[in-house]
Amino acid sequence: MFAAFDNFPSLLIWLPLVAGVLSFFIKKEGAPRNISLLSSILSLAIVIASLLFSGQQHAGLNQVSYIWLPDLGSSFGFILDGLTKILCLLTAIVFPLVLLITNKDEYKNSNAFYGLLMLTQCGLMGVFMATDALVFYFFWELALIPVYFLSSIWGGDKRIKATFKFFIYTFIGSLFLLIGILYLYLQTPHQSFNLAAFYNLRLSAPEQHWLFFLFFIAFAIKMPIFPFHTWQPEAYEQAPRPVTMIMSSIMVKMGVFGLIRWLLPLFPLAVKDYNTGIILLITVGMIYVSLIAIYQDSIKRLIAYSSIAHIGLMAAGIFSLKEIALQGVILQMFNHGINIVALWIAADFLERQTGVTEISQLGGVAQKAPKLTVFLVIAAMANIALPLTNAFVGEFTIFNGLYQFNPWLAALAGVSIILSAVYTLNMIKNIFYGEVVPATTEVKDIGRTHILVFSIITLLVFVIGIYPSPIFKIIQESTALVLNKYGSL
């Protein structure tokens, strides 16, 4: 398994792993942070390289498999295909941004902090690229455990309880996943964990039905979608800032990704039976959490609930089983990951400047911090999917597919978009406009690092919003494959 590094997937796994382990042992002030930043920028370079060297002639560069446990039929298999590239790109972009923006933060035992952060990145990359179910499960846990420690050690006042809830929830979910994987493994003809072997299984309808739920619950908890979402707002609120950003931007995508890569191709019969019901559940849940979001006074909770609604839309798009929606979902996974980071950065900036997180106690920030206002308004517009922004392209394509599936459900999901406009604009109005209130008199505008980070995000928002076709081209590599079992049904 320690073989060559002549391919992108192994580099993407080993780089953060080595950087993380290295960080643990370096006591020098600031060094772990620089190592992490360097490694995450290198990861970005690797992902970009893999985007350049795609296609059949470079297949060897984007795919790798080492024998790991021969008697179990498991091997360290990774692949970078269309879906994976988008998610790895997201991971590779978000990590440097987050590290840049929190560059000035001081953490006790910063070596452990950055070490764990890098291990999280390694876990995420592994989850996205794994082509072996056991490896997938390993990395799924590897992404969870460091986050648990990060939140519990460096989080807010109620961190232990909130994080423990998060941990127990997801851990139970992953145990369900494990049962499902074990069962599938035993069904394969030569006892292997290989994804392709799983895809080739011919499962009977009753088997698919209960396996579907094992997988679905695991992924639903992770995303999270209503009614498995109760861990999320507290966990986001209590986690330290970089961790919140990574959780909400990338980790939730693990669940969405799981649906696309594992659930849909594996259990077509069950998906066909349940998809209408699940979309209904999701859309009702979306409206429900949007209504909750309207009544939130805390910015962080508002963003958390809004995120649940957005993720819900992605899940609904997946279950519509339309290729166009699926492409929209993959694009939207990327967009949402970028946009929500901007929202968190702005929310945290305000919290640090004013010391309050309640929307009702803020006001008139636009007069004090015009630059921040511009950037946040753009991010907010992207959050409600206005035309020209990236989320418009993504959500529009999702709605397109959802509408083809069932107009009524699409309309119902549309309500939550309207609601999202209500709470987002309301937040903008209350925070940025109106009179300057006591809490905001001292607010200063954002500094250079923030401008840099916000500019990168804004650039991505508009580039993808205006010219999305290159990224769609990458996505299309893998979407047809996901749905090819549904053609004959």
Partner 1 sequence: MNTIIFSALWGVLMMYVGFIVKKQKSATAFAVLGLIVLLIVSWLEYAGVSIFTIDMQGMLRYNRLSLVFNLVMIFSTLVYFLLSGSDIEKFGKSSSDYYALLFFILTGISIISGFQSLLMLFIGIEIISIPLYILAGSEKSNLKSNEAALKYFLMGAFSTGIMLMGIAFLYGDAGTFYVEGINLGLGKITPMLAVGMVLLMAAMSFKVSAAPFHFWTPDVYDGTPTVFTSFMATIVKAAGFFAFFRLFENAFGNLHSDWEILIAVIATLTLLIGNITAVFQQSIKRMLSYSSIAQAGFMLMGVFALNTFAKHGLILYFAAYSFATLGIFAVLAKFKDHSIEAFNGFAKRYPLVGFSMLICILSLAGIPLTGGFFAKYYMLLAVIKYGKMFWLVIVGILCAAISVYYYFKLVQAIYFKEAAQREDVVFTRSFELMMLANAILIIILGIHPDWLMSLLYM
Cα dist. 269→272, 301, 385, 435 in Å?
5, 37, 33, 58
Indicate the burial class of 4 (C-beta count within 10 angstroms; 0-12, 13-18, 19 or more): exposed
Pick between residue 124 and residue 292 the one whose CB is nearest to partner 1. Answer: 124
Query: Measured from the CB of residue 168, what is the shortest distance to partner 1 in angstroms?
Result: 7
Pick between residue 165 and residue 272 the one whose CB is nearest to partner 1. Answer: 165
Query: Measured from the CB of residue 69, what is the shortest distance to partner 1 in angstroms?
Result: 5
How many Cβ atoms from other residues are within 10 Å of residue 487's Cβ?
Answer: 8
Alpha helices in 384-468 (DSSP H): 390-405, 407-432, 448-466
Pick between residue 142 and residue 324 the one whose CB is nearest to partner 1. Answer: 142
Cα dist. 73→183, 202, 285 in Å?
14, 19, 40
Query: Measured from the CB of residue 124, what is the shortest distance to partner 1 in angstroms?
Result: 15
Query: Measured from the CB of residue 135, what is the shortest distance to partner 1 in angstroms?
Result: 10
Pick between residue 137 and residue 319 the one whose CB is nearest to partner 1. Answer: 137
Torsion angle of C-alpha atoms 109, 115, 121, 124, degrees rounded to 10 = -90
Contacts to partner 1 by CB under 8 A: 69-72, 137-138, 141-142, 145, 149, 152-153, 159-160, 164, 167-168, 171-172, 175-176, 178-179, 182-183, 186
Pick between residue 85 and residue 159 the one whose CB is nearest to partner 1. Answer: 159
Query: Measured from the CB of residue 247, what is the shortest distance to partner 1 in angstroms?
Result: 18
CB distance 233 to 152 below 8 Å: no
Pick between residue 125 and residue 289 the one whose CB is nearest to partner 1. Answer: 125
Residues whose CB is less than 8 angstroms from the CB of residue 85 and which lie 6 or more positions away in sequence, other chains included = 47, 50, 51, 54, 474
Query: Measured from the CB of residue 148, what is the shortest distance to partner 1 in angstroms?
Result: 9
Query: Measured from the CB of residue 178, what is the shortest distance to partner 1 in angstroms?
Result: 7
Q: How far apart are CA 149 and CA 157, in angstroms?
A: 15
Q: Measured over all CA atoms, what is the biggest interatomic distance in the chain, rounded to whole angstroms? A: 70
CB distance 241 to 105 below 8 Å: yes
Alpha helices in 322-369 (DSSP H): 323-354, 365-368
Pick between residue 77 and residue 465 the one whose CB is nearest to partner 1. Answer: 77
Pick between residue 104 and residue 108 the one whose CB is nearest to partner 1. Answer: 108
Query: Measured from the CB of residue 182, what is the shortest distance to partner 1 in angstroms?
Result: 6
CB distance 251 to 222 below 8 Å: yes
